[in-house]
């Protein structure tokens, strides 16, 4: 009970001292100094630019006129600047969500595996590939489906949360920072989804890992979210964030090998 009451206080402290907030920045540096990773990004660069351009054009056509009118009525001609920035941030938020679903998932997975392989963590990647090859019995797959059905019940809440976050992200200057804070731990945990799949961790194990390392995930997720909120460049940073999360996994695996089989709260 005492440990549970201390956990909310420990998370911010662990976030500061863990250093995980540096991994998104390491991802950028690692990408720059390793040209072998550039082709992965170049494969999505053109469709990414076209997709982003379309999102920004549609956003300004649909959102800017109404917001500009309201801003001018409330703040005078200077309100045009605020409404322009607001729509820019909204378009950036929308492009981040859509590209994370439609454009980036496969290339993020590939570059994640590539970084692990380059850093001599082939055993982790190979383990995951073997699991994908093994044929899962029908009853097992059906059981997994039934297990995840309750998650569909929170879909209305997810949609509502998305709308609220979109509204917050449109607040000039401070909106993206607020969203980055609110979504920090979720972003950090999502960054390890590929790692959890490769290691074969189930939902309960992931939950336990998150509870013991919330601060680390908050630190990584906050900086990653800030990078993702930068208009135009956000899609590039989403790519380098995948590299950063892989480097974090490399660090984790090295720590595990140093422990040499001793129990650890982190995977």
The verdict on residue 267 lying in a domain is: no
- Note the pLDDT tens digit of each residue in 188-200: 999 999 888 888 8
Predicted TM-score (pTM) of this structure: 0.80
- Give dist(CA 169, CA 164) in Å, integer: 9
- Note the pLDDT tens digit of each residue in 169-183: 777 778 888 888 888
Token pair 């938020």 in the structure block, residue = 93
Mean pLDDT of the 105-122 span: 83
Of all residues in the chain, what percent carry a pLDDT higher than 70?
Answer: 77
Mean pLDDT of the 100-117 span: 86
The burial of 217, by beta-carbon neighbours within 10 Å (0-12 exposed, 13-18 middle, 19 or more buried), is given as buried
What distances in angstroms separate CA 174 from CA 39, 66, 69, 229, 258, one per listed residue? 35, 21, 22, 11, 42
Q: How many domains does the chain divide into?
A: 1
The burial of 97, by beta-carbon neighbours within 10 Å (0-12 exposed, 13-18 middle, 19 or more buried), is given as middle
HSE (CB half, 13 Å, CA atoms) of 196? 17
Using pLDDT thresholds of 50, 70 and 90, give the confidence band for residue 129: low
Q: What is the residue range of 154's domain?
A: 2-259
**If DSSP codes are grouped into helix, strand and coil, which group holds residue 143?**
helix
Lowest-confidence region among 46-60, 77-91, 227-241, 251-265: 251-265
- Note the pLDDT tens digit of each residue in 217-230: 999 999 999 999 88
- Helix-helix angle 234-259:214-228, to 10 degrees: 160
Q: Cβ neighbours of residue 152 under 8 Å, at least 6 residues apart? A: none
The verdict on residue 161 lying in a domain is: yes
What distances in angstroms separate CA 55 from CA 3, 60, 141, 163, 193, one per listed residue? 46, 9, 37, 17, 27
> Degrees (nearest 5) of the Cα angle 36, 40, 43?
135
Q: Per-residue pLDDT for 67 more than 80?
A: yes
């Amino acid at each position: 009970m005492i440990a549970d009451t201390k956990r909310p206080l420990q998370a911010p402290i662990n976030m500061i001292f863990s250093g995980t907030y540096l991994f998104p920045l390491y991802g950028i540096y690692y990408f720059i100094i390793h040209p072998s990773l550039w082709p992965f990004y170049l494969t999505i660069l053109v469709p990414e630019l076209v997709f982003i351009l379309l999102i920004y054009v549609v956003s300004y056509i649909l959102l800017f006129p109404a917001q500009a009118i309201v801003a001018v009525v409330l703040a005078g001609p200077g309100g045009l600047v605020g409404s322009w920035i607001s729509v820019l941030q909204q378009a950036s938020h929308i492009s981040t969500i859509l590209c994370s679903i439609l454009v980036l998932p496969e290339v993020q997975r590939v570059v994640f595996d590539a970084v692990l392989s380059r850093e001599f963590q082939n055993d982790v990647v190979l383990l995951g590939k073997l699991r994908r090859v093994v044929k899962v019995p029908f009853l097992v797959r059906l059981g997994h489906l039934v297990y995840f059905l309750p998650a569909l019940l929170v879909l209305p809440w997810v949609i509502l949360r998305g709308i609220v976050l979109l509204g917050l992200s449109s607040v000039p200057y401070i909106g993206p920072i607020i969203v980055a804070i609110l979504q920090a731990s979720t972003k950090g945990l999502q960054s390890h989804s590929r790692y959890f799949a490769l290691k074969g961790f189930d939902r309960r194990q992931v939950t336990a890992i998150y509870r013991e390392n919330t601060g680390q995930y908050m630190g990584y997720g906050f900086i990653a979210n800030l990078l993702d909120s930068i208009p135009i460049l956000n899609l590039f940073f989403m790519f380098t964030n995948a590299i950063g999360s892989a480097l974090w996994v490399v660090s984790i695996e090295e720590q595990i090998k140093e422990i040499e089989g001793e129990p650890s709260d982190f995977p």
